[in-house]
């Protein structure tokens, strides 16, 4: 045993790496270890701090992204129904736009359909009402005409406001005419011609004594004016139907704020 121990000691002495100047190669210094450990701790703390700072954003994203994915992949029944009806409305409106341009199937009748639409425009009706009001000599006639003028002005303002809010374009890219710009009827929803025709037909049916054939013709005129706007590609079907509804509501509004004969005479005298 002593001989073997002496031999191992001799080997250790003869080993070059066991010398003092080569100890750093075998065993790293404590200072380096401490600096490395401290560097690791600092980097770990910085990473933890960064993770803590980024955690709220990541949590928000993790909370929002699944919901967005669910909304896209699993839309609600109302959303599906609304989009389906909207697609049907656009498709049917494009098919019924037979006079949208000269190259359409009924392009030759475009001028006649435009003329039918002018009969439901606001400017001719306002001008005609003013002329009749000037020439009218009866109190009852002046009362009806003043309230009709009020209804026409309300129709223009209400439809223009609703169109500015909705800003819906028509099924075809057709520029509005000069009369449309004068009455601010530049968008599709709701159809101003349809609302005006419905309001006028209901107004005349209530305040004029007309024979049954004339009543039928008046209703048919309102329907033709409304759907003529679909034929020339200016409005969708739902725009025209909503225009009919708004026209009836405007008539009910005028009935609620109906101006009496004395009020009408006072306004006429001021004018």
Residue 217 and residue 219: Cα distance in Å, rounded? Answer: 5
Q: Mutual orientation of helices 122-135 and 192-207 as an angle, nearest 10°?
A: 30
- Alpha-carbon Rg for the chain, nearest whole angstrom, is 42
Q: Are 258 and 226 in contact (CB under 8 A)?
A: no
- Catalytic, 235? Answer yes
Catalytic choice (121, 193, 207, 236): 193
Catalytic residue among 121, 207, 235, 236: 235
> Where would I find the beta strands (DSSP E) of the chain?
none
Is residue 121 among the annotated active site residues? no
- Cα 114 to Cα 93, 101, 134, 182, 211: the distances in Å are 17, 11, 29, 17, 28
Distance CA 252, CA 203 (A): 9
The residues that are catalytic are 193, 235
């Amino acid at each position: 045993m002593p001989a073997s121990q002496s031999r191992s000691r001799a080997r250790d002495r003869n080993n070059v790496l066991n010398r003092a100047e080569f100890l750093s190669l075998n065993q790293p210094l404590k200072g380096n270890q401490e600096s490395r450990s401290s560097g690791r701790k600092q980097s770990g703390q910085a990473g933890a701090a960064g993770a803590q700072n980024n955690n709220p954003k990541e949590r928000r994203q993790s909370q929002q992204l699944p919901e967005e994915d669910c909304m896209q992949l699993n839309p609600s029944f109302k959303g599906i129904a609304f989009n389906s009806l909207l697609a049907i409305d656009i498709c049917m409106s494009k098919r019924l736009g037979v006079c949208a341009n000269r190259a359409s199937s009924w392009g030759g009748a475009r001028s006649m359909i435009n003329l039918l639409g002018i009969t439901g425009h606001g400017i001719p009706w306002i001008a005609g009402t003013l002329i009749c009001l000037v020439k009218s000599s009866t109190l009852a006639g002046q009362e009806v005409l003043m309230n009709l003028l009020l209804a026409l002005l309300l129709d223009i303002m209400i439809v223009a406001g609703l169109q500015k809010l909705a800003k819906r374009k028509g099924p075809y890219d057709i520029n509005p005419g000069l009369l449309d710009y004068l009455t601010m009827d530049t968008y599709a929803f709701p159809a101003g011609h349809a609302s005006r025709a419905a309001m006028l037909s209901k107004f005349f049916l209530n305040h004029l004594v007309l024979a049954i054939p004339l009543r039928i013709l008046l209703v048919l005129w309102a329907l033709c004016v409304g759907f003529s706007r679909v034929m020339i590609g200016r409005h969708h079907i739902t725009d025209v139907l909503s225009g009919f509804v708004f026209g009836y509501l405007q008539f009910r509004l005028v009935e609620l704020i109906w101006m009496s004969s004395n009020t009408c005479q006072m306004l006429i005298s001021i004018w």
